[in-house]
Amino acid sequence: MENLKNYYKLLKVPSYLIGVLFLTKFALFPSTGVATTLEVGNFMLLALSLVFIGVGGYLICDIHAVGSDRVNFPEKPLADGTISLKDAYRLYMIFTSIGIALGIFVSYSIDYTNYGMLFIALAAIPYLYATGLKNTGALGNFLLASLAFISFIILGILDLMPAITEVNKVNQAMVFKILMLYGGFGFALTYIETIIANLRSLPGDRRVGVKSLAAQLGFDMAKKVAVISSIMVWVVLVFAVYKYVDNNKLLTYFAFAVMAPYIYFIIQLIYLKKETMVHQINILQNILKIVYTAGVISLVLLYYF
């Protein structure tokens, strides 16, 4: 029983991805009247594919962060030795292989076999990050954040694009543009979250020689990068809401559910201190989850308010 708990702790499911997929498929698409390609069965296989690849991505990052985690997160199953690296790597291969295979099958089912390359690329990103690109500073952070962008647009690529005709192309393009805007939102928040994670992992990363953004710049400078990036994202977010949202109820939702907690996040980030960063970063990450979740939920509200 204890061993099952350890595997439960090890296998992290990208729950945010499930939420994005289901809200997009069953709320945004029906409300906008777009033509779609994926039937429910293929959609479920696509969701499973992305979840399996996501679990594999978390695993490979944990496998290659064991040295750092022994300092930063000694309670993790790989760090404390309750699960062997050999077993973890075996699970990584199983989850990733099944995820890629399911993605290729879905692509073949809709007669767009070349889309299968998307799933290979999705699996490659966390692997490349874990095995070397995390030492490239900001480039590694951008690479990880790109996964959040892809999470929003991949359903548009597989479900909307194959169904485009001369008659519906304007509406299809409009909805795909919405997905890209939300993808940019997810990318920005994830990029900031990766910098915060770098700050949290700084003691262990320095111990084992990982050259993350925080390790290269130092705590204070990396924190400034996070603060400046957060303020820039807030400015862009305000502009996007002002330009694209013309419904008072939706404006109120964005103001209180998204903008207000995000401003609170920036204030908390400004007062982040190295001595108490473990507790503070937990708070910051939770606030970002609230902002991200509220943003995703607004997909349902776009055409219902």
Give the confidence band of 111 by pLDDT, cuts at 50, 70, 90.
very high
Given a cut of 90, whether residue 299 has pLDDT beyond it is no
Instruction: Give the pLDDT of residue 305.
Output: 65
Give the confidence band of 101 by pLDDT, cuts at 50, 70, 90.
very high
**pLDDT tens per residue across span 14-56:** 888 888 999 999 989 998 899 999 999 999 999 999 999 999 9
Residue closest to 57 by CA, chosen among 138, 136, 151, 137? 151
Instruction: Give the pLDDT of residue 277.
Output: 92
Instruction: Give the pLDDT of residue 242.
Output: 86
Ranges 77-86, 240-249, 283-292, most confident: 283-292
Amino acid occupying residue 273: K
Please provide the average confidence, as pLDDT, over all residues in the chain: 92
134: which residues sit within 8 A by CB, 6+ positions away? 64, 140, 210, 211, 212
Instruction: Give the pLDDT of residue 2.
Output: 60
Segment 130-155 shows an average pLDDT of: 91
Percent pLDDT > 70 in the chain is 99
Segment 204-232 shows an average pLDDT of: 94
Of the two residues 181 and 7, the one the predictor is more confident about is 181
In the block, tokens 């000694």 appear at 74
Of the two residues 16 and 64, the one the predictor is more confident about is 64
Burial class (CB in 10 A: 0-12, 13-18, 19+), 239: exposed
101-124 burial, b at 16+ Cβ within 10 Å, e below that, comes to: ebbbbbbebbebeebbebbeebbe
Q: Note the helical H segments in 24-168.
A: 29-32, 40-63, 66-72, 85-109, 116-131, 138-155
Give the confidence band of 285 by pLDDT, cuts at 50, 70, 90.
very high
Given a cut of 80, whether residue 6 has pLDDT beyond it is no
Instruction: Give the pLDDT of residue 4.
Output: 76
Amino acid occupying residue 238: V
Given a cut of 80, whether residue 1 has pLDDT beyond it is no
Burial class (CB in 10 A: 0-12, 13-18, 19+), 22: middle
Instruction: Give the pLDDT of residue 248.
Output: 87
Give the confidence band of 5 by pLDDT, cuts at 50, 70, 90.
confident
How many CA atoms lie within 13 Å of 197's alpha carbon, on the beta-carbon side? 20
3-state SS record for 250-295 = HHHHHHHHHHHHHHHHHHHHHCCCHHHHHHHHHHHHHHHHHHHHHH
Given a cut of 90, whether residue 123 has pLDDT beyond it is yes
- Please give the Cα distance from 189 to 197 (Å, whole number): 12
Give the confidence band of 11 by pLDDT, cuts at 50, 70, 90.
confident
Residue 16 and residue 190 in contact, taking contact as beta carbons nearer than 8 Å: no
Distances (CA, A) of 162 to 35, 48, 67, 297, 299: 9, 21, 45, 26, 22
